[in-house]
Structures are given as C-alpha cells and as structure tokens.
Structure 1
Amino acid sequence: MRYAAMPTSLSTARLNMKLRDVGDAEWNLALLGEHDGGVTESLQSVRGRMAAQRILAEQNGIGLLAIRRRTDDEPLGYCGLIVGRCTLDEPEIAYEIFKRFHSQGYATEAARAVMDAAFATGRRRIWSTVGAWNTPSLRVLEKIGFERHHETVDHRGRPLIYLVRQAPSPS
C-alpha cells in the first residue's frame, strides 16, 4: 500500500516542528551528549548522518522533525517517524527531548501532532520500541494511546518493550 507523505512541518499551541537538516546538527550533538556514556561522534559525522536522514525522509515520506518552542525558537529535541525496528508501512515513533525540558509536556504535545499526521497518511498502526527502564518515554506513549504488545531484549540483553497504537476508527 502506498501512503501519503507526512508534512515536513507541523505546529501545535506551543511548538513548531520541521524536518531536521544539517543546521540542526550542533544542538543534536549536544542532545546526543546527554546519553549514558556521552557521545564520541563528531559534529561533521552528525551533519553527514542528518543530511542522509533528510534524503531518506524525502524519499520515504517520513522522518524526524526538530521541535522548537514557538515563543523563542529554542530547540527542544526531535520527534517523528522512522523505520527503526519496524517497517515503512508500520513505522516507529521516535522522540528525544533535552533533559532540561523534561516534565513540561513537550514530548507529549509533539508526539500527539506526529501521530495525527502519521494516521493522516493512511497508516493503520504505529509502533514504538522503548527500553523498559525509560519510564518517562513509557508515560508519554501511554498518554497518547499506545499499548504494550510484547517484550524482548536489545543487543545488550536489556529488556525492550514494543508498543503499538492503532489508527482511530473512522467516524
């Protein structure tokens, strides 16, 4: 089945989101630096990966959107759809927010907008895979209607939860 492309920009009451590009690499590198163990990737490497991801997003009609506050254009993180561990027909939602912006509802607001756009493409199911230890992400997914499907382990042997959300029934 062929799907419509997702919009390359979305807006909510507090957020503007647009398809990431190499101009987002510097803050994205800082976001990667918040991961456990930090990051060993260079800015040049992040720019190259983001350029490749943008090309892929333009080909596939799904990708990651930079999240910025409407009030001051501050980059907060990203949210969007990826193939990840799933498929182009049933992609995964992915999001990451700087720690200083956690617990302010930004991830939930961005994820809701992405889910609405995802289902508007004609897709019927969207997945998410989250480490069992990632309680904040699991809370966001619960708020936007995801349900646990099954569990497995990641490449390090840590528990990984697969969640799924069905498209709303047509009214």
Structure 2
Amino acid sequence: MTDGTAPVLLTTARLGLRPWSVADAVVQRELWTERDPRVPAHRRIDAQGRPTVADLEQAVRAGASAGLLAVERAAVGDVVGYCGLVESGHGRPGEPELAFELLRRAWGQGYATEAATAVVEHARSAGYARLWAGVRDWNVASRRVLAKVGFVETGHREEDPVHGALLLTTRRL
C-alpha cells in the first residue's frame, strides 16, 4: 500500500487507520483471544499462551504487521482492529489481499465496511488493478462486508473439513 517512504494514514467519517504502535499489542492480543475456534490453529493462542503481549510487541517492532493498519475510532480514540493489504499468494504479483478483523465489541456498527472502503479506495489511488480476499464459508459477516465493498466470489473453494472451506473473492479497481 505504500512505497515505503511515508506511512499510510487514512481517515473516514468515524475512523483513523494508521500503522500499528507497540502500545497496540494489547489490542492485537485481544483479537487473538477472541478468534473463533474454527480459525486455523496458527492464528489462535497456543497451549503455551502464545503469542503473548510481549511477543506481539516484538512483532510490531520488527514490522510483522506491515500493510495492516490499526483501526481507531476517532470519537473514542481506541483501536478496535485492523484493515489493510497483505501479500497472500492468491492473486498475481501486485494483487494483494484485503484483510480485516475487529474486536467483538466493535461488530455490527459498520466499522469493517467503512475501513475496508477506505483501504480499497487507497489501493485504487495507488494504482492496483485488482484485490483479493479469502474468507471462510462460515464467516457470514465478513462475506457481507466484502460484498458491500464490491468483492465477488470467484467460485474457487479450498476445502478444509476442520476449518471450513476458504472462498476466494476478488475486486477489480
């Protein structure tokens, strides 16, 4: 989403999207604890309680969340999740994946759609031609957000009897 010269900062009517700070690791940890048990194990807290807040602080310092922007409610000033673009391997080079996740307390208020719209518009202005998004078939709320911001299902499904089928969606810009 950027050429590396300046951090991406996006604003909407109710949100600010900005790079993660080390202090946001607490929010990242909360996201990990709230994940649905159907989410693959490598994206959930493990038996040893990892990742810890300290692990996530180190990851922020190392730039592991590059491309994913913290979603901050402007009126309250609290971070409620992330939204951004990541390289996923679903598309061709230069066709990143839209990714987003919000804390449960922020669900149902239109924040995911608002943040995703801002990221899609930023991607368009940055010259991307197409974006991808993978979503589990059971994740109806995320599928609805993707549809609202113009993504369409491609018909490609990666079957997974444990975690649910992964559906690929795309959006031309």
**After the TM superposition, which segments of 4 or more aligned residues of structure 1 sit over 3 Å from their partners?**
3-7, 85-88, 154-157
Q: Is the 8 A contact 1:126 1:166 kept in 2?
A: yes
1:160 and 2:162 aligned: no
Q: Is the 8 A contact 2:136 2:165 kept in 1?
A: yes
Report the 3-state secondary structure (helix = DSSP H, G, I; strand = E; otherwise coil) of the residue aligned with 2:169. strand
TM-score (norm 1): 0.84
Q: Is the 8 A contact 2:2 2:8 kept in 1?
A: no
For residues 40-74 of structure 1, give each alpha carbon's deviation from its aligned partner in whole angstroms, at most 9, with x where no partner exists. Answer: 321111112222335x73xxxxx011111111101
1:48 and 2:54 aligned: no
Q: Which residue of 1 aligns with 2:79?
A: 75
Report the 3-state secondary structure (helix = DSSP H, G, I; strand = E; otherwise coil) of the residue aligned with 2:170. strand
**Aligned length in residues:** 159
Cα deviation, residue 84, structure 1: 2.4
Rounded Cα–Cα distance in structure 2 between residues aligned with 1:7 and 1:51: 15
TM-score (norm 2): 0.83
For residues 13-47 of structure 1, give each alpha carbon's deviation from its aligned partner in whole angstroms, at most 9, with x where no partner exists. Answer: 00011011322101110111101356232111111
Unaligned runs of 5+ in 2: 38-43
- 2:75 corresponds to which letter in structure 1? T
Report the 3-state secondary structure (helix = DSSP H, G, I; strand = E; otherwise coil) of the residue aligned with 1:29. helix
Q: Which residue of 2 aligns with 1:140?
A: 145
Unaligned runs of 5+ in 1: 58-62
CA RMSD between the two structures: 2.1
Rounded Cα–Cα distance in structure 2 between residues aligned with 1:89 and 1:155: 31
- 1:160 corresponds to which letter in structure 2? L
Within a 5 Å distance, the mapping from 1:3-152 to structure 2 comes to: 5=3, 8-37=8-37, 39=45, 40=49, 41-53=51-63, 57=66, 63-86=67-90, 88-149=93-154, 150-152=156-158
Change (3 A) 1:113 1:157: closer
Quick one: percent identity of the two aligned structures? 36
Cα deviation, residue 128, structure 1: 0.1
Change (3 A) 1:71 1:88: farther
Change (3 A) 1:8 1:148: same
